[in-house]
Amino acid sequence: MTDLCFMTALDLKAALAARELSAREVVRAHLDRIERVNPKVNAVVTLVAERAIEAAKAADERAAAGAALPPLHGIPVAHKDLHETAGIRTTFGSPLRADYVPERDQLIIERMRGAGAITLGKTNVPEFGAGSHTFNPVFGATRNPYHTGKSAGGSSGGAAVALACGMCALADGSDTGGSLRNPASFTNVIGFRPSPGRVPNWPALLGWTTLNVSGPMARTVADAAFLLSVIAGPDPRSPISLEEPGASFAKPLDRDFRDVRVAWSPDLGGAVPVEPAVAAVVGDSAKVFADLGCVVERACPDFAGADEVFRTLRAWQFEVSFGPLLETGRLKETIRWNTLAGRRLSGPELGRAEVLHTELFQRMREFFTRYDFLLLPVSQVPPFDLELEYPAEVAGVAMETYLDWMRSAYFVSATGNPALSVPAGFTSDGLPVGVQIVGPHRADFAVLQAGHAFEQVTAFARRRPPVCAD
């Protein structure tokens, strides 16, 4: 049997169900992998090894007794350190929460544990998840396994690296401005931003927001859909949860893509600067879809207003979330800046943002009457130097704030459309680059089908990072 730490979650599921592998065997192999590889990359920051071994023992006993097995039976997972986990330290990457141990699970964790997943630990994040580069004063920086001097992206950077290095089979993440997609692109794994409400958020201070979503991360699109089948579905505690059951995502992803209409743009219609190496990958990805039989055209919706929508609503959310913490003096400067920007907002400014938000939705809706999918860059740059807080410039254009270089991801966040980051190539010096596949409003399954088809005819996702070579 191949290295079980790089088996797909679906293959692990089958082997566990057939009793070809035991849960204890699987968990111990992943714990060994963490012990060997994690010191090089700093992805798993709170390990619960004894708890995981006990859970694996209980899972094996359940299987031996002939009990019905839940969908994630015996599968090792790691949870983002922004997601509350009952009885396990959840720091949010902040000294203000360094010793916080929740008494309850966040809904996404509740569903994963209820489905039989075995928790190995927590994955690293930027402080309070702010910024697409994973470093914080509690645990330090997470390193990119393809070049340990580079960023792993964020805010789900620890999750992405843990997956890339075979330290877990599945991972949960969250995404406001690209936090599922950006680290997936930087580390050659899958990150899926589902439609708002697809994976309900609870508890949530702002239950009506459509900017913040939770979603799956994996090494294959099929595994991401598998995890989504567990974490998606309605919940009365979330006011925007969608009624479609999660089980609908457990269906096969195979589809005939002949005559499917695909648009692509290397720079969001000229709206953002993009490094040439990234733009080239988007163009090459368009050719893959053409080879699949798609009708491919260079085209892009009008993203006018997306920047104002995202920045205004994000600043307002930061003020709500972090305003009470400003007086502590223990927030990093970018969080303080964004929170103070929210404090300065006026009612008319919020109103204008919502009008622009609605107009953007309508333009996207109309665009997807002509096309089935849209291919875009995930990130405007390849992985950048670890010591930088964010890139100072992109394609020769200065980045004035920590948000500027993330526009290719957060413009899509503002639309509310589902978006997938799938491995799509490497730079000349071996750094991963993903392509972003965007679909129509709530067409989550179709987007996963497109990513699966792309993945089947490319070999990018099969490459393993250098830190796993020894």
Q: Find the catalytic residue in 80, 122, 150, 332.
A: 80
Cβ atoms of 263 and 298 within 8 Å: the answer is yes
Q: DSSP state, 85?
A: B
Does 57 participate in catalysis according to the annotation?
A: no
Q: Find the catalytic residue in 156, 174, 179, 238.
A: 179
- d(Cα 339, Cα 332) in Å, to the nearest integer? 11
- d(Cα 391, Cα 408) in Å, to the nearest integer? 14
> Which residue type sits at 103?
E
Reported as type and span, the H/E element at residue 360 is helix 347-367
State the maximum Cα–Cα separation within the chain, in Å, rounded to a whole number: 63
Q: Find the catalytic residue in 151, 155, 156, 421.
A: 155
Instruction: For tokens 């470093």, name the residue.
Output: 135
* Dihedral, 305, 308, 311, 315 alpha carbons, nearest 10: -130
Does 265 participate in catalysis according to the annotation?
A: no
- d(Cα 421, Cα 104) in Å, to the nearest integer? 31
Does 80 participate in catalysis according to the annotation?
A: yes
Whole-number Cα distances in Å, 433 to 122, 153, 390, 392: 25, 12, 17, 19
- d(Cα 143, Cα 153) in Å, to the nearest integer? 9
- d(Cα 213, Cα 209) in Å, to the nearest integer? 9
Angle between helices 306-322 and 333-343 (to 10 degrees): 100
Give the residue numbers annotated as catalytic, written as ranges. 80, 155, 179
